[in-house]
Structure 1
Amino acid sequence: MPTPNADVRTLLAVQRTVGALPGAVRTARGLSHLGEHALGWIAVGGLGAALDRSRRPQWTTVVVGAVGAHAASIAVKRVVRRRRPTHPDVRIGVGVPSKFSFPSSHATSTTAAAVLIGRASGLPVAPVLVPTMLLSRLVLGVHYPSDVLSGAALGAVSAAVAVRLEKAAS
């Protein structure tokens, strides 16, 4: 078997350490379901818009940003076409809708949503939620570290674009 590259070695190290913590895989699966197709973030933004009339535009931007980020990640996936981890020591902990891994759509939409939820709510959401989601994708063995880091970067750009669109519309 060939020597694993740095991405695979890091993924395996995360699975051995973080993935071995009590409840880590269960928590990672929960986050996976929440972030699937950005649906959890769409729900949070919709709920915020319904309940917080004074900041409805910002909560609507959460939805726009999460959807836009997810769409951008899918477009990049179709161009790059990087396969998900296949190393025999990687434990896969959840089903996935696509065979492509770069960038992580969960990391992309979660980063965009977390930045925008923090903006709308005034709470420090991104520093807590983003690293947790990124680690969860590694714990579940469905992404390489470079997938989640690139996804987070794309999500941050998507959030910035969503804010610019919101400001241009007002």
Structure 2
Amino acid sequence: MLRRDEAYELVKKHVKTKNLVKHCLAVEVVMRALARRFGEDEELWGLAGLLHDLDYDYTKDDPENHGLKTIELLKDSDLPKSVLDAILAHCEKKELNTKMEKAIYAADPVTGFIVAAALITPEKSLSVIDTDFLERRFKEKLFAKGASREQMKSCEELGLSLEEFLSISLDAMRTISKDLGL
């Protein structure tokens, strides 16, 4: 099976934008935290998060193939079907059936939302925001409008309140704040 360091090398090879690499790292750490919360395999969940946008630079102008190109890029990687299915689920190329699929669907937009919240503070840091701050921003329709509120709220299908999901995600992202530049 593909190891984490090998997966990260693939990200560095195929993902050309520094901010998108940071996004992949953020989704990875949130997925690992969610796996811990649910007693699931952190390695598998983390790999799904790290690799979920592997094809973004190839498909940004061809959204119909987003996710599908990643599966093609990973065809020789010996990843479990559950990881590949989660990658497809995050971009709605398959129905959300498993916890991992539901988690990545919610985790993908929440990372961008949290980054946007940190960037509007004078410190531009994750350390100065809290869950209450995130919840207030969540209610502002124009704030980080690219981060789907519907997708983030789908955390409820995992049995998590929005508050709990935001807290888990923020705490996870703080553990890699240096890598994220926040």
Q: Please state which band the TM-score falls in when normalised by the shorter chain.
A: 0.3 to 0.5
Q: TM-score under structure 2 normalisation? A: 0.38
Question: Based on CA coordinates, which of the two structures has the bigger radius of gyration?
Answer: 1
When you count helix as a share of all residues, which structure comes out higher?
A: 1
